[in-house]
Amino acid sequence: RAAAVSAAERVSVDLLLAHETECRAAELAMVTLRLEARRMRYVLRAEASERAELRIELDAGRQRIDRDVEARRTLAREEHHARGAITAASVAETLLVESLTASARSVLLAEAESRQRLFHASQGSVADAIASTKDRLAAEL
């Protein structure tokens, strides 16, 4: 009977040790799961942080693109206005040249008419001077 009790105690101790081993294995598994859950939380936080940083960079990139597009539109408007101003200046220059040409033509015509009148007037006075010189010489002779 002592051998049976001793065998039963050994089985009982073996079962107790097996139970404790299973409990410790379960506790170890729980600790492992907690550690894995904590690691996953860190990974998820890191990924969320990285996504947030990427979102910020993306927004900054979009803002730069929007500013560039607006700057190009402004530049195009200014270029259009400048071309219009250049065209207006060119037209004004053409009109000014035409006006100056007409004025110069008028001045030249007036000067030519004045010279012609002076020439005719001087011819008349030369003819008068010749006639008076003839008359004087004829009277002296």
pLDDT digit string (tens) for 47-68? Answer: 999 999 999 999 999 999 999 9
pLDDT value of position 117: 78
pLDDT at 109 over 80: yes
Q: Model's pTM, two decimal places?
A: 0.46
pLDDT value of position 141: 67
Phi, psi torsion values for 58, nearest 5 degrees:
-65, -45
As a whole number, the mean pLDDT across the chain is: 87
Q: How confident is the model at residue 113 (pLDDT cuts 50, 70, 90)?
A: confident
